[in-house]
């Protein structure tokens, strides 16, 4: 089939008839497939089973002279802080190793900014009138919702192939009500791009009007290549310091997609002053995080080199899934000229831009045919994609066999929605 834009109305109608037939056939299969969230698949979970037996005796839970089985060490056990410092390229004293959820740590930073203020806040954000937050989009719905939940105004910043549109960011931060920005700098969610050095440099050198502007740097996929070797990344804490913004950034990461989702270990990295400030606030809400799990992780993951070996095994599972998805799009959709996407080498998503006005309809059709996808609009502030065009595909959970069916359904639905749109025009 040629590009739909080159087709006559009669050709499009013939194609609609043919695609509708395919859709009905697939629908009749009663599929139940899920490409909605970035959940690792069972094979990945099975991969790390040794973590359950790597520490079993009381002495295995000694971190030097520290008994990780008792209360204390709110900032995390020394070996876990050293581990994450190596992974992120920062210093151990710039880390705070917490519980199992990095989202929880991000929430804590924003929540504390709201109720108590950050290190350089004149007063809590809740007492500063309207607060605005920059949301490079498409982006991660859970990020946007954290700031939305505190009544902040979400400002959409367009994404480019190199990261957030920095002209837009630099203009926006002149407004003192703009208090921060969400970023997923490596294998961005959902586009899977890596911010360029130029973009990161401009971010580190921002001159925000707000003295307490906070860069929420979610390095969720810092070592999550599924194609090719580990790609090193900019150490944002140092860059911000060199850019004259020593306390501007909080970086986040976790082992949720290294060991176990929701049962791993999360880390927050920031200037030592920021860590000290947040420690004081966090000491009110928790005596100490799960240090037994921290110790278990250090014993299992050991160091960066050893962890990268594990990531190769994840890649061997993830790579074929992403290839299944992107190859199908290349074969089925590319010739038709009805969508654009990237071919990421890491992360957990493929981002696709369908014909404007067809994303919701595509996903409604998918649902009808038994394939659950991330809701259309989810990648934009307030869940509203102004062009109704972006679709996030999450290929990690289903096995390849199911994924093959799922992406087949998706392609058919994409075509159907495009044809309906084109024929209605």
Q: Which residues in this chain contact its own copies in the complex, by CB under 8 A? A: 37, 39-40, 42, 45-46, 49, 52-53, 55-58, 60, 67-72, 99-101, 103-104, 107-108, 111, 114-116, 126, 142, 145-146, 149-150, 256, 260-263, 281, 284-293
User: What element of type H or E holds 9?
Assistant: helix 9-28
For residues 135 and 414, which CB has a smaller minimum distance to its own copies in the complex? 135
Tell me the closest approach of the beta carbon of residue 128 to its own copies, in angstroms. 13
Tell me the closest approach of the beta carbon of residue 272 to its own copies, in angstroms. 23
User: What element of type H or E holds 268?
Assistant: strand 266-269
What's CA 285's distance to the chain center, in Å?
26
Tell me the closest approach of the beta carbon of residue 402 to its own copies, in angstroms. 16
For residues 102 and 137, which CB has a smaller minimum distance to its own copies in the complex? 102
Tell me the closest approach of the beta carbon of residue 149 to its own copies, in angstroms. 5
Residues in the chain: 425
Tell me the closest approach of the beta carbon of residue 316 to its own copies, in angstroms. 18
For residues 76 and 377, which CB has a smaller minimum distance to its own copies in the complex? 76
User: What element of type H or E holds 179?
Assistant: strand 178-183
Q: What angle do CA 411, 413, 415 make, to 5 degrees?
A: 70
Tell me the closest approach of the beta carbon of residue 114 to its own copies, in angstroms. 6
For residues 194 and 397, which CB has a smaller minimum distance to its own copies in the complex? 397
Residue 386 has which token pair?
């102004």
Cα separation, 423 vs 364, in Å, equals: 18
Residue 239 has which token pair?
């860059």
Give CA separation, 392 vs 30, 239, 371, 376, 396, in Å: 23, 31, 13, 8, 12
User: What element of type H or E holds 109?
Assistant: helix 102-115
Using an 8 Å Cβ cutoff, are 79 and 172 in contact? no
Alpha helices in 181-303 (DSSP H): 197-204, 236-242, 272-282, 291-301
Tell me the closest approach of the beta carbon of residue 290 to its own copies, in angstroms. 4
For residues 30 and 58, which CB has a smaller minimum distance to its own copies in the complex? 58
For residues 140 and 195, which CB has a smaller minimum distance to its own copies in the complex? 140
Tell me the closest approach of the beta carbon of residue 412 to its own copies, in angstroms. 28
* Burial class of residue 50 in the structure, from the number of CB atoms within 10 Å of its CB (0-12 exposed, 13-18 middle, 19+ buried): exposed
Q: State the sign of the Cα–Cα–Cα–Cα dihedral 150, 156, 159, 164.
A: negative
For residues 150 and 230, which CB has a smaller minimum distance to its own copies in the complex? 150
Q: What angle do CA 331, 333, 339 make, to 5 degrees?
A: 140
Cα separation, 70 vs 106, in Å, equals: 26
For residues 69 and 367, which CB has a smaller minimum distance to its own copies in the complex? 69
Q: State the sign of the Cα–Cα–Cα–Cα dihedral 208, 98, 308, 330.
A: negative
For residues 18 and 149, which CB has a smaller minimum distance to its own copies in the complex? 149
Tell me the closest approach of the beta carbon of residue 204 to its own copies, in angstroms. 28
For residues 16 and 47, which CB has a smaller minimum distance to its own copies in the complex? 47
Using an 8 Å Cβ cutoff, are 150 and 111 in contact? yes
Tell me the closest approach of the beta carbon of residue 144 to its own copies, in angstroms. 10
DSSP structural state of residue 356: T
């Amino acid at each position: 089939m040629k590009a739909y834009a080159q087709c006559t109305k009669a050709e499009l109608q013939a194609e609609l008839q043919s695609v509708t037939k395919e859709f009905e056939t697939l629908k009749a299969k009663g599929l139940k497939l899920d490409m909605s969230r970035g959940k690792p698949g069972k094979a990945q979970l099975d991969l790390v089973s040794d973590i359950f037996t790597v520490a079993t005796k009381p002495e295995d839970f000694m971190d030097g002279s520290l008994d990780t089985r008792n209360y204390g060490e709110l900032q995390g056990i020394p070996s876990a802080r050293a581990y994450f410092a190596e992974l992120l390229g920062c210093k151990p004293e710039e880390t705070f190793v917490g519980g199992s959820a990095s989202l929880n740590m991000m929430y804590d930073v924003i929540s504390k900014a709201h109720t108590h203020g950050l290190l350089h806040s004149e007063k809590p954000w809740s007492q500063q009138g309207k607060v605005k937050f920059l949301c490079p989009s498409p982006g991660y719905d859970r990020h946007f919702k954290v700031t939305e939940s505190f009544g902040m105004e979400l400002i959409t910043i367009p994404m480019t192939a190199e990261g957030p549109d920095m002209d837009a960011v630099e203009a926006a931060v002149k407004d003192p009500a703009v208090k921060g920005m969400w970023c997923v700098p490596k294998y961005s969610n959902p586009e899977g791009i890596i911010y360029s050095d130029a973009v990161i440099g401009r971010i580190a050198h921002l001159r925000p009007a707000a003295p307490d502007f906070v860069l929420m740097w979610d390095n969720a996929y810092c070592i999550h290549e599924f194609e090719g070797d580990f790609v090193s990344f900019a150490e944002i804490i140092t860059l911000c310091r060199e850019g004259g913004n020593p306390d501007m950034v909080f970086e986040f990461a976790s082992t949720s997609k290294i060991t176990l989702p929701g049962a791993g270990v999360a880390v927050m990295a920031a200037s030592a002053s920021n860590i000290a400030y947040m420690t004081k606030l966090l000491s009110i809400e928790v005596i100490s995080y799960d240090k037994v799990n921290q110790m278990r992780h250090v014993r299992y993951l050991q160091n960066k080199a050893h962890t990268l070996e594990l990531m190769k095994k994840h890649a061997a599972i993830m790579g074929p899934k992403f290839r299944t998805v992107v190859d199908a799009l290349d074969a089925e959709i590319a010739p038709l000229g009805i969508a654009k996407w990237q071919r990421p080498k890491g992360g957990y998503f493929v981002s696709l831009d369908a014909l404007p006005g067809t994303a919701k309809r595509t996903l409604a059709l998918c649902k009808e045919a038994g394939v659950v996808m991330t809701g259309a609009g989810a990648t934009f502030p307030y869940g509203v994609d102004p062009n109704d065009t972006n679709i996030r595909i999450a290929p990690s959970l289903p096995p390849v066999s199911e994924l093959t069916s799922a992406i087949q359904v998706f392609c058919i639905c994409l075509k159907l929605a495009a044809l309906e749109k084109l024929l209605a025009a």
